[in-house]
Structure 1
Amino acid sequence: MEAFFKALLGEKAFLLDNNSKMIAPTMEGKKLHNLERLLLHVHVIVEEAEGRYIMNQAMVHQLNVLRKEMYRGCFIVDNLKRQGTESNNYKGHDVSNSFILSKFNPVKRLFLSDVDIHRETDLQQVIDNLSNIMEDVNGIVVFLNNYPPLYRQPYSMHLFIEKCMFRCQMEMGRIMAFLMQKEDQGCVGVLPIVGPTFVGKSTLVANVCNDARVRNYFFQTILITAHDINSENISTLKDGAVILHQNNALDQNNERLLAIIELSGDIDVVAWNSLLSSSSYLGRVSKMIITSRSDKITKFGTTQALVLTFLPLEAYWYFFKISVFGSIDSNDHPELQSIAMEIARGLNGSFVGANVTFSFLKDNLVAQYWRRYLSSFREATQRNVSLFRESPYGLVCDCKPITQLIRGDDEFAVWGRYHACPVEENVPMITMKDVIFGRGNYEGEFDVLAWKSHIPPYNSYIVKCVIEKSK
C-alpha cells in the first residue's frame, strides 16, 4: 500500500507542479503551494480510509482530526483562489455588481468569513497543523491495510458521498458501540440524539440501522413516532409501531429488539414512564434510540446524549464542492468554483438547500447558467433578509416561510415548511424546478417535490408552495 500511495502522490505532485507555475512567486503563493502539496498527501489517505471498514475507534478519532484539518485547508486554498479571480469573473456580467462591492450590505455580510480578513495567518496555521498531524501518517497507512474495503470496485469520492452520510463516522461509531453493548437483564439502554431541524438525526439513525451488524444482532427494529406516544394507546404500541427490519434467522425466544423513537419536541415524564413500563408489550426491549429537537430528552438517557450540529463552513464547502462538481476537477472551472463557494456560504450549512442546489447546477456546468442562478440566489437572499432579517435557508431551519421571484417580476413563490415522507407514499409530480422555470401555469397552494434522498431512509422532501402576484 505504501508503494501505491507513493506512486499516486507522485502523479498528483507532477500535476500540481505544472499548475503551480501560474502562481505568483510571492510569500503567500509559496505557502499556498506548500499547503496544496500537503493536502494531496492527506486527501489520498482520507479517501483510502473512507473506502474501508474501520472498527478501531481510536483510529476513527485520529482520522477525524485529519479530516477536519483537510476540510479547513481545502477551504482556505479555494477561498484564496476565489478572491484572486472574483472581480474578473463578474466583469461585464449583469449579476448585481453593487451587491458584490458593498461590504456594508447586510446580505453581503452573510457571504464573508474571517478567512477573508486573517487569510495569511490561517494559511500558515493550517500548514503547521497538517505538518504536525502528518508525522503519524506512516502509522495510519500501515493500519489501513489491515481493514477490508467497503467496495469491491474502484469508486470516486463524489459517488461515496452520494451513498453515505457525510462526516458522521464518529457519530455512527458512537451509536454502534451503544447498540452492541450488552445490558443487564431487564434493563433498557436509552440513547438520546438531539439537534436542530434538518441536521440529519433520522438519517443518521437510519444509516446505522441499515448496517449489517445491527440487522444481524437485533431480531426486530421498530419505529415509534410522537403521534403513537400517549397514555391512552400505550398498551397497543407494538401494533401501531412500524417494523423497519426483522431478522427471522434469529431465535425468537431469545429476541433482542431495537426501538427508534422520533419526537418533534419534548415528551412528558408520565408518557415516558408509561412507554418504558410497556416494554412487555414490545417484547424484550434491549435498546432505545430517541431523537428530538429538544435537549430536554437528554434526562431520559442511560448514556450520554449525542448532540448533532450543522457542519462548519470548511467541511460544508468540501461536501458541496465534491457533490456539485462530481468527477470533474473544479480547478478546471475557476469561475464556477467561485460561484459555488458564494452559494455554499449563503446556504447556512443546510443539507436541504445543498441538495436542492445540486439538482439545478450539477448537470449544467455552463458559466452563463450558473451566473444567472447566482443572481437569482442573491435576489432571494436580499428579499428574505429585507423582509425577515434572515437568509432563506436560515428561515427553512426555523420552519418559517421564504419568498422567491418566479416568471420575471410578475409573480413570486412562498415556500412553506418542508416535511419528509417515505418514497412509497404519494409524492407530488411537480418539482421545484418546474415552479422556478415556469414549466406549467401553477396557481394557488400546492405541494412541491424539493428533492429525493439517495441514502436511508430514502425520504422525499416536500414543501408547501403558494403562488402570489407581486405588488
Structure 2
Amino acid sequence: MDEIILAIISEITKRSISYALCKYSEITTAPTMEDKRLQDLQRLLLRTHIIVKEAEGRFITNRAMLHLLNIMRKEMYRGYFTLDSMRSQASEGMDHDVSHSFAPPKFNRSKRRIFSPDGAYRNNELQKVIQNLSNIVADAKEFCMFLKNYPPLYRQPYDMHMFIGKCMFGRQMEVDRIMDFLMREEHLSMTRVGVLPIIGPGYVGKSTLVAHVCNDARVRHHFSEIIVVNGDGIDDKNLSSLKDRCDIKHQNNALGGKKRMLAVIEFPENIDKVAWNNFYLPFVGCLVSGSKIIITSSSDRIKKFGTTQALILNFLPIEAFWYFFKVLTFGSADSNDYPELQSTAMAMAREMGGSFIAANFISAILRRNFSVQHWGWCLAAFKENIKRNVSVFGEHPYDLLQKQKHARYQINEDEYMVSDQYHASRPSGDNIPTITMYDIVSGNVNCKGTFEVLAWKSPILPYKSYTISCMIQKEQPMVYIG
C-alpha cells in the first residue's frame, strides 16, 4: 500500500514540475505586447522608407508636398531611433553603466518587464511613434498618386551607405528655403538688394549648405556671377580691396545684359551695424536688380541686416543624426546582426552633439575592426575623455573645440594630447598635415611638442579640411597651455 502511495505522489510531483516548467517557458518565450509593437513599428518603417526613397528620387516642385515629405522623413528617423534604442536597451540588459563592462549581458525579457523603471515611458513613446507613422502611411495614398506627375531624378545605382557620406544630409528644407529666396523676383518698387542671413554655431554646416545651393544648376543659370567673400575687415570702405577677399565660384556670360550677382559673405566674427552699412550701401550700388546677398555668421547680430527672415541652422536632432551615423558606420552590414556593436555605437552617437566631424572621424575608426573588444575600447576612451574634460574644464570636449577652447584627449596611460582649436581650410588654402587623428589614436606616430593634425577632410562641397593644433604632454606635471 505504501509503495502505491509513493508512486502516486512521485507521478503527481513529476507532472507538477513538468507543468510549471511549461508555463515558465511560455512566459519567457511568448512575445510580449512590446515585442508585437516593435514588429508593427518595423513594418511601418519599411513602408515609410519606401515612400520617402521614391519621393527623394523625383523632382518635386510643389512646396506642400516637400513639406509633407520632410515630415515623413523626420518621423522615419524618429522611428528608427526608437526601434534601435529599445533594441540597444535590450542588448545592454539592466547594466546602463557601460564603463564597467563593454560586453553587454544577455537580455532577460522578464527582468526588463518587471524591474525597468521607465517601461511606461518607453511604451508611451513607442505607441506615439507607431501612431504617427500609421497616420503618415494612411495619408500617403494621395501623396504617392501625385508623385507620379513629377519626373524622376538621376538615380545612383548604389545603396544609401555608398553615398551618405558624400552628400549633404538632412538639410532638404533649408535648401528649399534658400532656393525660394534666390529665385524670387523682387518687386520693381524694391530698391534694396535682397539679403538672407544664415545663423548657426560653428561647424554646423553653414558653408556646406550655401556651397551646395550655389552648385545647383538653377542658381547657376539664374546668376551671371557667384562670389564668396571673406568678411574679415569688411568695414573697409575701399571696395577695391574686396577683390582680395573674393573667391569667384561661377561666371555665366550667356545671360547677356542681365548681370545678376550672388554674393556670399562669411562673417567669422561679430560685425556692428555701422561697419555693415559702410560696406552694404556702396556695394549694392554696383549691383543690378535681381542680385542677392547671403550672409553667414555664428552671431545672431546679423539678423537685423537681412531683408527677409533669417534662416537658423542647428545641429541635427538625435534621431536624424543617429540614422546618419549608423549608416556611415555599419555600411553594407545590417546593424541588427550586431546588437552589441549597435548598442555601443548608439552610446557614442548620443554624446557627439550632432557633430559631423566627430561622426565621420569615429565611424572611420570603428569600421576598421568589427569586434566587440575594439568597439568597447573605443567607447571606453570616448567616455574617459568626456569625463576628463568635464572634470578639468567643466564642459564637453566638442563644446570646447566649437568655442575655440582647449580640450584634452588621453593617448595612452601616461601621455595626453592638448588640442587647441579647429582650423577649416579649403584645398587651395593652407597646407594639409600628413598626420591624421587615427595616427595619433592608434599610436602609429611618435609626436613631440606642438604639431598639426588632420581631423577630417570633407568629401563634399566646399571640400574643407579640418585640422587641430595639438601638443603632447606627460601626465605629471599637468601643465595647462593657454
Query: Fold-level match, TM-score > 0.5?
Result: yes
Per-residue deviation, residues 136-158 of structure 1 (Å, max 9, x unmatched): 21122223333333324423122
Residues 1:130 and 2:129 aligned together: no
1:453 alignment partner AA: S
Shift of 1:365: 2.1
Range with greater deviation from structure 2 (430-439 or 364-373): 364-373
Shift of 1:216: 1.1
Residues 1:170 and 2:173 aligned together: yes
Residues 1:428 and 2:433 aligned together: yes
Cα distance change, pair 171–372 in 1 and its aligned pair in 2 (3 A): same
Which residue of structure 2 aligns with residue 146 of structure 1?
Answer: 149
CA–CA separation in structure 2 for the residues paired with 1:268 and 1:116: 52
Which residue of structure 1 aligns with residue 261 of structure 2?
Answer: 257
Cα distance change, pair 24–164 in 1 and its aligned pair in 2 (3 A): farther
Which residue of structure 2 aligns with residue 61 of structure 1?
Answer: 67
Match among 414, 434, 457 for residue 452 of structure 1: 457
2:455 alignment partner AA: A
Match among 355, 362, 380 for residue 357 of structure 1: 362
Alpha carbons 1:236, 1:281 under 8 Å: kept: no
CA–CA separation in structure 1 for the residues paired with 2:282 and 2:118: 54
Cα distance change, pair 240–375 in 1 and its aligned pair in 2 (3 A): closer
SS of the aligned residue for 2:365 comes to helix
Shift of 1:394: 2.4
Which residue of structure 2 aligns with residue 317 of structure 1?
Answer: 322
Which residue of structure 1 aligns with residue 276 of structure 2?
Answer: 272
Alpha carbons 2:230, 2:245 under 8 Å: kept: no
CA–CA separation in structure 2 for the residues paired with 1:326 and 1:403: 30
Alpha carbons 1:228, 1:240 under 8 Å: kept: no
Residues 153-232 of structure 1 mapped to structure 2, 5 A cutoff: 153-184=156-187, 186-232=191-237
Per-residue deviation, residues 45-73 of structure 1 (Å, max 9, x unmatched): 11222233322211111011111111111
Residues 1:45 and 2:48 aligned together: no
Which residue of structure 1 aligns with residue 17 of structure 2?
Answer: none
SS of the aligned residue for 2:253 comes to coil
1:405 alignment partner AA: Q
Q: Which runs of 5+ in 1 are unaligned?
A: 1-21, 102-113
Alpha carbons 2:103, 2:340 under 8 Å: kept: no
Cα distance change, pair 140–469 in 1 and its aligned pair in 2 (3 A): same
CA–CA separation in structure 1 for the residues paired with 2:407 and 2:104: 23
Per-residue deviation, residues 344-371 of structure 1 (Å, max 9, x unmatched): 0111111121111122122432222111
Shift of 1:306: 0.4
Shift of 1:268: 1.6
CA–CA separation in structure 1 for the residues paired with 2:310 and 2:118: 33
Alpha carbons 2:200, 2:297 under 8 Å: kept: yes
2:466 alignment partner AA: Y
Which residue of structure 1 aligns with residue 306 of structure 2?
Answer: 301
Which residue of structure 2 aligns with residue 32 of structure 1?
Answer: 38
Structure 1 or 2, whichever has the larger Rg, is 2
Residues 1:381 and 2:358 aligned together: no
Match among 392, 399, 415 for residue 394 of structure 1: 399
Shift of 1:281: 7.4
Per-residue deviation, residues 38-95 of structure 1 (Å, max 9, x unmatched): 111011111222233322211111011111111111111111111111149999xx95
Residues 1:418 and 2:416 aligned together: no
Match among 76, 80, 85 for residue 74 of structure 1: 80
Cα distance change, pair 301–281 in 1 and its aligned pair in 2 (3 A): closer
Range with greater deviation from structure 2 (319-328 or 116-125): 116-125
Alpha carbons 1:228, 1:237 under 8 Å: kept: no
2:34 alignment partner AA: E
1:96 alignment partner AA: H
2:144 alignment partner AA: V
Per-residue deviation, residues 178-229 of structure 1 (Å, max 9, x unmatched): 0001124543000001011111111111110011111111111111112241
Cα distance change, pair 29–434 in 1 and its aligned pair in 2 (3 A): same
